Amino acid sequence: MNPKNNLLVGAIIAVVVVTSYDVGVEPIAFFEGLPNLGIVAKEMTEFESEHWGTAFWAMLETIEMAFVGTIIGVLISLPLSIFAARNISSKFVYAPLRALLAATRTFPSILWAILFVIVVGLGPFAGILAITLYTVGFISKLQYESIEAIDYDPVEATNAIGLSKLQLIRYVIIPESAPHLLSQILYMFDYNVRQTSILGIVGAGGIGFYIINYIKFFEYGKAAVFMLVVLIAVLAIDWASVKIRDRYIMKAEHGRQLKVSN
Amino acid sequence: MENEEKNSASISTLSIIQMRDVSASYDSKNSILKNISMNVHRGTNYAIVGASGSGKSTLLKLMNGMMIPSNGIVLYNYQKPDVKNKSYKKSMAKIGYIPQTLGLVKNSTVMDNVMIGALPRIDGVKSFFKIFPKKEIEYAHDILKLVGLDEKSDRKVHMLSGGEKRRVAIARALMQKPHVLLADEIVSELDSVTAREVMDVIKDAQQKLNLTSIMIHHDMNLALEYANRVAVIKEGEKVLEIGVEGEQIIDFQTGNLTQQEILEMYSESQK
């Protein structure tokens, strides 16, 4: 190691120490508190089996919310991403739109959920709105980036034929930018299920409502049931999306025929 | 549209493309083409041959208006080609242009790619929802049969072979019901057997649809085999223009030559 690197490592350690002190990191409190974790863990293993049913339905509601939010969000994103693409739209359209989309991504969906609970009241609808809004911000960005990266040859060739702009978008831009869309939607759904699981904390529906309440009243055995269901569901969705990806996306990339299930 | 075709047939003896003292450049200093003059008569199979970088592709882009000459005049059907000019759009739809990269939409089916050629004739809103008149769909199938791809119309383009991709590009151009077919080195990357298959498809289509074609070739042999007029471009200048009638070659500059002599001359101009 040369002295320059030593200096850099030393500086990083110094910054970590100073900022830790600043935000109140107390290692001693962590070790003193460890036995508490033992108590929680012990209580958590005492599952209360009559809650499995409730947990299942609450998880189903969570997945439904994530699904609806993802699909509506994607449907809104598709036209928006075209207006936000620099190679298609004028500066006066894409610049403000991009700023707006960036703003929706600034806050995690749980903050949007608080806002929508104020607007439409407690319940799953507020959660769906929050998930939709976040999906719009995210998928639009991924989509306009893939539109900006499309192959220019077909655009040039079809321009020479004399297509209208709408036809160009429909027959060249959308198909050329679509291959990544399925993969992006899967990723987004996966992410949204996890997000929706905690939206219940602010009263926006889903399984998080039960988890936060049981934890508040120290009923760790009940909370554990719901947390385990979330864990299983997220793992299952993760596994399923890997399967879907392998089946449709890998095949498409290897030039084999895309299979469409009927 | 049928009237338009009759009109063009009635003046079929005249040139469809005229170039007079045309120069072109991408920047103000280096010109890619210098003082090119040529006439392409209706019904001609015109071939342009030259080494890479000689300015052949630029010549085609001048003909369909993707480029504007820096000097001289280009006329297609007595109009100045210019893609950016909106009143020229109707004429553009009648020029089938196949770039060297083919410009196919790889994630779309063969049929969707071919239909792109018909879009200028179809109402914008209907075409957005892929609603096509029955007549157009039938015509697309006819064209696909002509190029030998009808049974693969539902395939995605990225799954096709190099020769098949070229057939799709030809079909898209033919779907435009073009008066002129411009093709930029369409068979250069293919092996000689596949190249001849693709050229035969074009030849067949030309005869059936009464087309004028202007094709860029890298291979002089192919040009002599399929074209009835060949121009050789070297360093941006037209160095030779010959007529071909079977085995007989008529050189407009130096009298009659044999194929062998032309091939020798060409290989010299390559150096």
Residue with tokens 């194929």: B259
Torsion sign, CA atoms A152, A154, A157, A161: negative
Residues of chain B with Cβ-Cβ distance to A176 below 8 Å are: 105-107
Ranges of residues in chain A with a pLDDT under 70 are 1, 249-262
What pLDDT shows up at residue B9? 42
- The residue ranges of every structural domain in chain B are 108-171
What pLDDT shows up at residue A52? 85
- ipTM of this complex prediction, to 2 decimal places: 0.80
If DSSP states are collapsed to H, E and C, what string results for chain B? CHHHHHHHHHCCCCEEEEEEEEEEECCCCCEEEEEEEEEEECCCEEEEEECCCCCHHHHHHHHHCCCCCCEEEEEECCECCCCCCHHHHHHHCCEEEECCCCCCCCCCEHHHHHHHCCHHHCCHHHHHCCCCCHHHHHHHHHHHHHHCCHHHCCCEHHHCCHHHHHHHHHHHHHHCCCCEEEEECCCCCCCHHHHHHHHHHHHHHHHHHCCEEEEEECCHHHHHHHCCEEEEEECCEEEEEEEEECCEEEECCCEEECHHHHHHHHHHHHC
**For chain A, how many structural domains are there in total?**
1
Residue in chain A nearest B169 by alpha carbon: A157
* A197 is a domain residue: yes
CATH of the domain at A98: 1.10.3720.10
Residue in chain A nearest B86 by alpha carbon: A162
For residue A207, which amino acid is it?
I
- Residue B100 has φ and ψ, to the nearest 5°, of -60, -35
Residue pair B54/B239 in contact by the 8 Å Cβ criterion: no
Enclosing domain of residue A62: 50-253
Chain B contact for A54 (CB, 8 A cutoff): no
A140 SS3 class: helix
Across all residues in chain B, what is the average pLDDT?
83
pLDDT in tens, chain B (271 residues): 344 444 444 344 578 888 888 888 887 777 788 888 888 888 888 999 888 778 888 888 899 888 888 888 888 888 888 888 888 888 888 899 999 999 999 889 999 999 999 998 887 788 888 888 999 999 999 999 989 888 998 899 988 998 999 999 999 999 999 989 999 988 888 888 888 889 998 988 888 888 899 999 988 888 888 888 888 888 888 877 888 776 667 666 555 566 666 666 666 554 4
| Exposed e or buried b per residue across A39-68, where buried means at least 16 C-beta atoms within 10 angstroms of its C-beta | eeeeebeeeeeebeeebbebbebbbebbbb
Q: Nearest to residue A160, comparing CAs of B8, B165, B99?
A: B99
- Identify which of A157, A162, A164 has the shortest CB distance to residue B99: A157
Rounded alpha-carbon distances, angstroms, from residue A150 to A98, A101, B109, B182: 19, 21, 17, 25
Eight-state DSSP code of residue A46: S
Q: In what order do the strands lie in the sheet with B31-41?
A: B31-41, B15-25, B71-76
pTM across the whole model: 0.75
What pLDDT shows up at residue A90? 87
What pLDDT shows up at residue B175? 93
Residue pair A107/A138 in contact by the 8 Å Cβ criterion: no
Residues of chain B with Cβ-Cβ distance to A178 below 8 Å are: 107
What pLDDT shows up at residue B104? 93
* A259 is a domain residue: no
What pLDDT shows up at residue B93? 85
- Identify which of A161, A163, A175 has the shortest CB distance to residue B108: A175
Residue in chain A nearest B82 by alpha carbon: A160
Residue in chain B nearest A255 by alpha carbon: B159
* A23 is a domain residue: no
Q: Measured between alpha carbons, how far apart are the two ends of chain A, in Å?
A: 61
Chain A contact for B116 (CB, 8 A cutoff): yes
Residues of chain A with Cβ-Cβ distance to B93 below 8 Å are: 161-162
* Chain A residues 157-186 with CB within 8 Å of chain B: 157-164, 166-167, 170-172, 175-176, 178-179
In A56-172, beta strands by DSSP E? none
* A24 is a domain residue: no
H helical segments located in A150-219: 153-161, 165-168, 174-177, 179-199, 208-216
Q: In what order do the strands lie in the sheet with B95-98?
A: B95-98, B180-184, B212-217, B45-50, B229-234, B237-245, B248-251, B255-257
Residues of chain B with Cβ-Cβ distance to A153 below 8 Å are: 99, 101-103
Angstrom distance (rounded) from CA B172 to CA B104 = 9
Q: pLDDT tens digits, residue range A88-115?
A: 888 999 999 999 999 999 988 899 999 9
B259 CB-near residues (< 8 Å, 6+ apart):
B224, B247, B249
| Distance to chain A for B128, nearest Cα, Å | 6
Q: Measured between alpha carbons, how far apart are the two ends of chain B, in Å?
A: 47
* A29 is a domain residue: no
Residues of chain A with Cβ-Cβ distance to B98 below 8 Å are: 157
B91 CB-near residues (< 8 Å, 6+ apart):
B76, B77, B79, B81
Taking an 8 Å cut-off on Cβ atoms, the answer to whether B97 and A166 are in contact is no
Chain A contact for B243 (CB, 8 A cutoff): no
Cα B225 versus chain centre, distance: 16
Residue with tokens 């996890």: A194
* A207 is a domain residue: yes
* A17 is a domain residue: no
| Distance to chain A for B61, nearest Cα, Å | 10
Taking an 8 Å cut-off on Cβ atoms, the answer to whether A158 and B176 are in contact is no
Residue pair B41/B215 in contact by the 8 Å Cβ criterion: no
* A9 is a domain residue: no
What pLDDT shows up at residue A251? 56
B136 CB-near residues (< 8 Å, 6+ apart):
B115, B118, B121, B122
